Chain A
Amino acid sequence: MSYLEYTVKTTPTGPGKMLHLNWPLVVLLMAVAGVGFLMLYSVAGGSLSPWAEPQMKRFALGFAIMLMVAMVPIWFWRNMSLLAYLISVALLIAVALFGIEGKGAQRWIDIGFMRLQPSELVKITLVMLLAAYYDWLPMSRVSRPVWVALPVAMILFPVALVLRQPDLGTSILLLAAGGVMMFIAGVHWAYFATVIAAVVGLVFAVFESRGTTWQMLENYQYRRIDTFLNPDNDPLGAGYHITQSKIALGSGGWTGRGFMQGTQSRLNFLPEKHTDFIFVTLAEEFGFVGAISILGLYTLILVFCISTALSNRDRYSSLLTLGVAMTFFLFFSVNMAMVMGLMPVVGVPLPLISYGGSAMLVLMVGFGLVQSAHIHKPR
């Protein structure tokens, strides 16, 4: 369906677009971000600096960007998909060549006023490209090997670059989001069965290769897996994070210890308490009620995204919205599973709550696209 087929008369224009925003979604996003400010205020020991205030400014910027993206018709974004993807991949290559090293990995590129993390950017542009690709591809060809190989290459190229940085968390996120996009677009299930079988084989091989000359992961990655499987072995070393994180979370109980009363966070037993482990502080201070509420807010965001996606007759819009929702889902589920000891620590932030610029801005752009699809859906 091309944009020429939209009944232009019924598509809102001008300031009228504001009325057609998916307002429940906007409110939900603001609520989640608000919780984030509160938590950052708390982990800083009841202070707006150093985290809460910059985070608010970033959210304000992100919110403005979201509205701007939303106002632009979705067909423009569809036409921009390939270009956006190419730019983000070019930035990834630039990072590999001239990037700044931080914490042992090469992830940032300095663009003057801020440090950009292209691996974050690619999470959205990959979804955009895949949505545009399946929008263009006739249904009858979706499962033909050649037409399956092409999107696989689109996914694997940035994944390879991100893996080289090395950033295992983001690579897994990209792979999962890309795979789900292909699944939703209707690629035959047999492909997925094959890939899943191969992955199981690969995991086996990764473990077998340890200590041999063809060792497949870095030593620190193996150590993280060890720590995950048995954190008590090394309570002062690598297992420290997971053990402390579980203690903090569990000690929250039903209703938590109260705002700014979490002893784990107060006494600095928690690592990275303002970024990847912020959910733990929340769970410690607001208990099961608080934690399940956040999960509820996230679920509602997903529900609204999926419902607008399924009611949208434009294929690009549906796929894009589902893709953004999937990315968002992966962010928070991987983060929560990680801090609850269900997954190895891979360094994925809690969306809209963790302190950090790139991830938040990219998510807001994603939701801007979702809003644009919602406003400009065929009526």
Chain B
Amino acid sequence: MRRPGRDTAESQRRITRRGLVIGGLQAGVMGVLALRMRYMQVEQADQFRLLADENRINIQLIPPTRGRLFDRNGAVIAENIPSYRITMTREQAGDVDAVIARLAKLVELDPDELERARRDLRELRGDTPVTVADRVSWGAISRVAVNAPALPGVLPEVGLSRRYPANSDYAHVVGYVGTVSDKDLERIDAPEQLLRLPRFQIGKIGLEAKRENLLRGSAGTRRVEVNAAGRVMRELDRQEGQPGADMQLTLDNALQSYTNARLEGESAAAVVIDCDTGDLLACASAPSYDPNLFVRGISVPDYRALLDDPYRPLPNKAVQGIYPPGSTFKMVTALAALEDGQVALDDTVYCPGYAEISGRRFHCWKRGGHGNVDLHRSLRESCDIYYYEMALRTGIEKISAMAERLGLGVQFDLPMTSVAKGLAPTREWKQANRGQPWMIGDSVNTAIGQGFVLASPLQLAVMTARIATSRAVTPRLIKSIDGVEQPTGHGDTLGLNENLMREVRKAMFAVSNSNRGTAYRSRIIDDAFRMAGKTGTSQVRNITAGERASGVVNNRDLPWERRDHALFVNFAPFDAPKVAVAVVVEHGGGGSTAAAPIARDITLQALYGEDPPLDAYPAADRGRIKTLQEKLRRARPKTGPDGKDRA
């Protein structure tokens, strides 16, 4: 024997003892289970029976009304309109195909939609309502309601759908909503039940997406009595949810609409910012698209057309487009050099039309040269050689720091999609991102806004507002939420030498108002509203030596996509700045010819609040302006005094 018998006997006794203990415990647990059954099924049976009957009483979610969007004067930007749809539930329908056939006799069914609905009916849980027809007419809904007995499982439903009455005007800022997709659900941890409602819409892009949590609101519930077929017989009670917050934007509907119309035909962007509050009064990107198409679900050919358009309608060029700022950057270089004491206001630099720097020849845009140039003249006539010299004296670090102080290379916290950070390049940046040391030529290029430096139209407008006010104006898009005013972007002083700032502003005034200024042709005659600005032309290509020799530098001779970007920034009125404007016309050619006239027109529109009188324009332009104004008036929908009857 392997084990002594005593051990076996002892172990057998212990197993018996402990086995009985466990058996006793099990008996105890089963006692508890039995008591629980008795308690639930005998003592509380009546109560549960009642609840079971009430289960014919369904709890349903009431989707909240999405917050509406208004412009600064109360004109509607985004609203909710009733939309009728027809849903179907597989379990209650029984023979799905027969019911669909009967339904098709009453309502026109879209074949694509029907195919998708059939698939959902097959694959989803049997008690999930599937939309078979969306956006049907009231007539169709009533026909279905009347024939309800012949259509088991078919339910006409009314819901709310988003509508953007201004069509394409706000597409880039506000974005659009769309039906929750499986991809959306995957991104969210523990999605609310609400998101699983058929055809529930959430923000997909732009403000609608960025402020989804505020705009959505929270769902309410209602208890309804349903019959055995699941049809709602009556509502018993309801607990209202919280509707989404209404928001008032800083945008001005009339100005936004004008700006969009003015940019028509170009691939361009324009930003108008209020110098006092930082309010974005207009923020437009052209060409635009109709967000209502996306709400309905855009068709493949329409979407393809948007994607294939060389003018790229989809991105918001005003905030996510980044461009070399060209000569509009010269204020930054000038202020960096002046603040640093590297140059005095009346110091001059001689411009022979080119400069030799570390063995390379850098050209001024004016082949013959400007001669002796001081700060005032350098900005007014946009001399490049002066700024090459400033770069050599000041160094990239100070220029880059000044750029960031003025808002370039800074990402503003605005509720729009992909707000670009741009780039104010430094030595470290180049080493880290290009793996190459900073070259002196890089500083020289940066000084005139070429090379690595990149800015969005939004940032250029902010820069201009900061130069105009000497304050750190920051942009604001949302004016109030549910009537609660949001903090403005007024900003504290930048702490720059006011004397120097005044001289830079004066030089910008000369750009627009001196007959030697680069934007003289796009000046404002009205004395109360005179503007100060700066042109910019940013090279998209490198000018080859061959081209320079043969003289093929005229933009008109080049294919569109190789032409220069045209830029213009300005603020007005000069004495008491109210608005700052930045306009970028992609591949538009020169800043003075392509961008400055647009910026001037937008500025006047912003200051007058309506079409300006013709005598605000230089006499020679008035005929052309009159025609343009009439054309744009026709292009824009009629706007009432407060913009409210715009719909």
Contact = CB atoms under 8 A, between A and B. Distances in A.
B225 to A, nearest CB: 13
Interface in B224-254: 228
A247 B11 contact: no
Contact of B15 (A184, A247, A263, A292): A184
Nearest to A263: B52
B11 A315 contact: yes
B12 interface: yes
Contacts of A253: 41-42, 45, 49
A268 B8 contact: no
Interface in A299-346: 299, 302, 306, 309-310, 313, 315, 318-319, 322, 326, 329, 333, 336-337, 340, 342
Interface stretch (A118-126, A195-203, A283-291): A283-291
A310 B193 contact: no
A252 interface: yes
Given A247-B52, A249-B41, A318-B15, A268 B30 contact: no
B153 to A, nearest CB: 13
Contacts of A186: 11, 14-15, 18
B277 interface: no
Contacts of B20: 310
B190 interface: yes
B33 A236 contact: no
B127 interface: yes
Interface string B1-21: 111000110111011101111
Q: Considering residues A184, A185, A318, A322, which has the most beta carbons from chain B within 10 angstroms of its beta carbon?
A: A184
A184 B8 contact: no
B193 A236 contact: yes
Contact of B40 (A246, A302, A329): A246
Q: Considering residues B1, B45, B56, which has the most beta carbons from chain A within 10 angstroms of its beta carbon?
A: B45
Contacts of B7: 138-140
A248 B55 CA distance: 10
Nearest to A340: B36
B190 A219 contact: yes
Contacts of B1: 1, 5
A105 B126 CA distance: 24
A251 B44 CA distance: 8
B42 A185 contact: no
A263 B55 contact: yes
A268 B45 contact: no
Contacts of B2: 1-2
B307 interface: no
Interface in B447-462: none
14 contacts: A139-B7, A186-B11, A186-B14, A236-B59, A237-B192, A244-B55, A250-B47, A252-B45, A253-B41, A267-B56, A288-B42, A302-B23, A329-B29, A333-B26
B55 A267 contact: yes
A180 interface: yes
A133 interface: no
A342 B31 CA distance: 13
B12 A249 contact: no
Given A139-B3, A264-B52, 9 more contacts: A237-B193, A247-B48, A247-B51, A250-B51, A283-B41, A292-B38, A326-B22, A329-B26, A333-B30
B3 to A, nearest CB: 6
Interface string B23-39: 10010011011101110
A283 B34 CA distance: 12
Interface string A167-185: 0000000000000100111
B212 to A, nearest CB: 20
Interface in A84-108: none
B480 interface: no
A291 to B, nearest CB: 5
Contacts of B11: 139, 186, 315
Nearest to B60: A236
B18 A250 contact: no
A264 B15 contact: no
B28 to A, nearest CB: 10
A236 B221 contact: yes
Nearest to B9: A313
Contacts of A315: 8, 11-12, 15
B37 A295 contact: yes
Nearest to B14: A186
Contacts of A306: 19, 23
B19 A340 contact: no
Given A139-B11, A315-B15, A248 B33 contact: no
Interface string A272-301: 000000000001000110011001001100
B49 A295 contact: no
Interface string B46-78: 011101110110010100000000000000000
Nearest to A315: B11
Contacts of B339: none
Interface string A66-100: 00000000000000000000000000000000000
A180 B30 contact: no
B16 to A, nearest CB: 5
Nearest to B228: A267
Contact of A250 (B8, B48, B192): B48
A269 B14 CA distance: 49
A235 interface: yes
Q: Considering residues B23, B29, B47, B52, which has the most beta carbons from chain A within 10 angstroms of its beta carbon?
A: B52
Contact of A251 (B45, B190, B228): B45
What are the 8 tightest A-B residue pairs by CB atom distance, in nearest-first order?
Answer: A250-B48, A251-B52, A288-B41, A253-B45, A186-B14, A251-B48, A250-B40, A251-B49
Nearest to B15: A318
Contacts of B26: 302, 326, 329, 333
A254 interface: yes
B91 interface: yes
A223 interface: yes
A295 B126 contact: no
B449 to A, nearest CB: 47
B41 A333 contact: no
Contacts of A318: 12, 15, 19
Contacts of B61: 236
Interface string A147-172: 00000000000000000000000000
Contacts of A244: 55
Contact of B29 (A254, A263, A333): A333
Contacts of B44: 250
A78 to B, nearest CB: 13
Contact of A268 (B34, B36, B126): B126
A251 B23 contact: no
Contacts of B3: 1, 138-139
Interface in B383-415: none
B41 A254 contact: yes
A251 B22 contact: no
Contacts of A254: 41-42, 45
